[in-house]
Structure 1
Amino acid sequence: MILELHIIQNFAPSNLNRDDANAPKDCEFGGYRRARISSQCIKRSVRRHLSFSKSVKEAGGEVGVRTKRLKNRLVEILMGDHGRPADDSDKVAAAMIDLLGFKLSDAEKTEYLLYLGEGEVAELAKIALSAWDALKELEIGKEKKKKDAVPESLKQAQDALKSVVAKSRKETRSYAADIALFGRMVADNKNMNVDAACQVAHALSTHKVEMEMDYFTAVDDLLPGEDSGSDMIGVVEFNSSCFYRYSLIDLNKLRENLGLNNDLLAAVVKGYIEASVKAVPTGKQNSMAAQNPAGYVRVLVREDGFPWSLANAFQKPVFPVRGTSVEEASIAALEEYLGRLKAVYGDESVLSDACFSVYDTSRGSLPAVLKAAVESVTKGATA
């Protein structure tokens, strides 16, 4: 079973997702320059949105944290929750990072961002407590020789670490909701890898786009009256674009990543859809406030595992016509293309198809779409 999410969303002048030159990201599609929002930006906006975390936590799940400061977090737990001394906690936390196969910089941070659930971090702290004395004496970075005696408590800690960061073949493991969705890849410790259940496309404008420039100046509030001129000048690039957004969830894989917990599965799906609809990237929002809700949302649940991105509906750029907005024209193009696909491939595999549009309120609403999706997912999971 797969769940597909299609969104049409028009934004006022904005720079929601910047490239290395601080310009809005873009690309070529169908032979025309298009505005773009990266999938990484979209995923971060979704997993950080209150709708997602609220739905997950109400079902007893947790949301992960992406950080280079794992050592600091371990020290906080060891000191705050378990009352261990600061110096010892610092040594033990560093030793745990070493056992996981990571190096710490001079700033006491890992070389790259790690993606962990709070439950996993808490388990790491418990393992540290079980081998406290051995970890305090562990020489970090020293190459271990076969003849070196390894304390039994340290051997047990190493074995326990493997069961925490890796999915055991003997038992089903539940990961944090966003890790279950978006996966985890760790080059230095492949045991920590988690296959993603969710695919997210880069959002593309449905029309050709031209970048525009905002020339700005700033004046010193304490500028003497006899003086004139600006104390800062600059240029900000922006555009105004209507985006097509697409993502899909492999529901069987998500259920597996969530420990076969059907209630949590339904909560994660609900939270993901709601957050995807409501979350907006934060780039340059304080100066542009492009807080524009989606104009169209469609959620399909199908059982044949044959996903349909509808991006090709916009190979030919949409052009607004008199009396019709670019968002309305984009919705019409999407639905026409979807109808063509159904005519060719059939739609017998579709278990649920719910949508809403702000241009035709009789078609449904966000609560109705969420309800239909959750009911279909729950029915499929329990079948």
Structure 2
Amino acid sequence: MNNLTLHVINTLPWSNLNRDDTGTPKRAVIGGALRGMLSSQAIKRAARTDYEVKSLDKSIRSTNLAGIVADRAVVINPALEPKDALAASKKIVSALVKNAAGADTGDAKESGTSSWLSMEEIETAAAAVAAGNADVQFVDAGVTGSLSIAAFGRMFAAAPEANTAAAIAVSPAISVHKAVIETDYFSTMDEDPKATHKGASFLGVASYTSGVFYRSVTIDRAQLKRSWTGVNSETAREQLSLLVEALIYKLPSGKKNATAPYVAPLVVLAEEQSYRLAYDFETPVMPGADGGYGEPAVARLAEQRAAALDFDKGNFGIALAAGTATGVDRFGAETTGVEGLVGAVVDWILA
């Protein structure tokens, strides 16, 4: 079996980790009910950032890749004129980012489209520019040494043959029940003892929500091995462990210091699958006997897994479960702590 899916149920206290252009928590209508939502893009960025800080396996996504390459080229070769370095860098970056008139002469302006390079690729490009070579092929088609890029994929508008297919698919996190968006009134106090007025110096409002959220992450083992050149390296196990941990723990960070909302997952269920499947919570979960949604959400996930096994048991292989909820053993899966689950997932990837 080539897929392994992590199913994660998290309680999120009062928070606004991922907001829209009006500052309101992102949301979606599912099953006729308004649900809270954390976008997959925001979840992936949070996981990628955490992984790269801990692993030092850095990459850069920017609309100014040419400028970044040029700056590095001048550091490598101080005798290089900055404007010449920028012209050469624009030429080689534009060959990937866009088809542009003037690219061959170095006159093209870089596209406003954001693109993504590993630090290794930036260093290779900068070294070529520093040496006066503006025709270098510094991105290998379909592969990369960056685990982040191999995991989440990238595309180049002007050179689709150089695209890297994503090996990990991440769903949005959606509340399993109807969500309520609440408005908080806040103020700041003027502490200047000479102030002519007393009380608030600023008044404002902010929106928040809370709930129990479900999300899924699917790892395509074969694609990851095709895309990531570091899969056989001495550091592969450590890097993969850091990424899997980040995918379990990390969520977006909007207003995190105002609400401190992070809570350990209620459950993390890892399933080996032939066909990639998630669970849906299309019918909103109702509060349990204790008034909360956590226990009913975990029970609903267990019911859906049991139904999926009845429908097509052959689609599923090994399964492990970890979490803080009561009854994690109800999934018909081996129970373990998060360290054991991460280790088993990494073993599966490297097998």
Once the two structures are superposed, residues 114-170 of structure 1 have per-residue CA deviations (whole angstroms, 9 ceiling, x without a partner) of: 1111111111123224435xxxxxxxxxxxxxxxxxxxxxxxx53x32xx33417xx
2:337 paired with 1:336: no
68, 79, 87: which one pairs with 1:84?
79
- Paired amino acid for 1:315: E
Q: Provide the rounded CA distance (Å) in 1 between the counterparts of 2:232 and 2:316.
A: 21
Show the 5 A alignment for 1:1-383.
1-50=2-51, 54=54, 62-87=57-82, 88-100=84-96, 102=98, 110-132=111-133, 157-158=134-135, 160-161=136-137, 164-167=138-141, 173-222=143-192, 224=194, 227-259=197-229, 261-263=231-233, 266-302=237-273, 304=274, 306-311=275-280, 314-323=281-290, 325-346=292-313, 348-360=314-326, 363-379=335-351
Relative to structure 1, the CA distance from residue 315 to residue 118 in structure 2 (aligned partners, 3 Å threshold; closer, same or farther) is same
The CA deviation at 1:10 is 0.5
Partner secondary structure for residue 247 of structure 2: helix
* Preserved CA contact (<8 Å) 1:70 1:110: no
| Cα RMSD (Å) | 2.6
Partner secondary structure for residue 48 of structure 1: helix
Count of residue correspondences: 334
Relative to structure 1, the CA distance from residue 355 to residue 53 in structure 2 (aligned partners, 3 Å threshold; closer, same or farther) is farther
* Preserved CA contact (<8 Å) 1:300 1:351: yes
Match of 1:151 in 2: none
Match of 2:332 in 1: none
What TM-score results when the alignment is normalised by the length of structure 1? Answer: 0.79
* Greater per-residue strand proportion: 2
User: Structure 1: 5+ residue runs without aligned partners?
Assistant: 133-156
Q: Provide the rounded CA distance (Å) in 2 between the counterparts of 1:99 and 1:344.
A: 49
Q: Provide the rounded CA distance (Å) in 2 between the counterparts of 1:89 and 1:231.
A: 49
Q: Provide the rounded CA distance (Å) in 2 between the counterparts of 1:65 and 1:198.
A: 19
* Preserved CA contact (<8 Å) 2:144 2:164: no
What TM-score results when the alignment is normalised by the length of structure 2? Answer: 0.86
Once the two structures are superposed, residues 247-301 of structure 1 have per-residue CA deviations (whole angstroms, 9 ceiling, x without a partner) of: 2111101100013834566555433320012212110112111122212111122
For the pair shown, which has the larger CA radius of gyration, 1 or 2?
1
The CA deviation at 1:238 is 0.4
Which stretch shows the higher mean deviation, 33-42 or 278-287? 278-287
Relative to structure 1, the CA distance from residue 307 to residue 127 in structure 2 (aligned partners, 3 Å threshold; closer, same or farther) is same
Partner secondary structure for residue 218 of structure 1: strand
Partner secondary structure for residue 15 of structure 2: coil
Structure 1 stretches of 4+ with a deviation exceeding 6 A read none
* Preserved CA contact (<8 Å) 2:61 2:114: yes
Q: Provide the rounded CA distance (Å) in 2 between the counterparts of 1:85 and 1:269.
A: 39
- Paired amino acid for 2:128: I
Identity %: 25
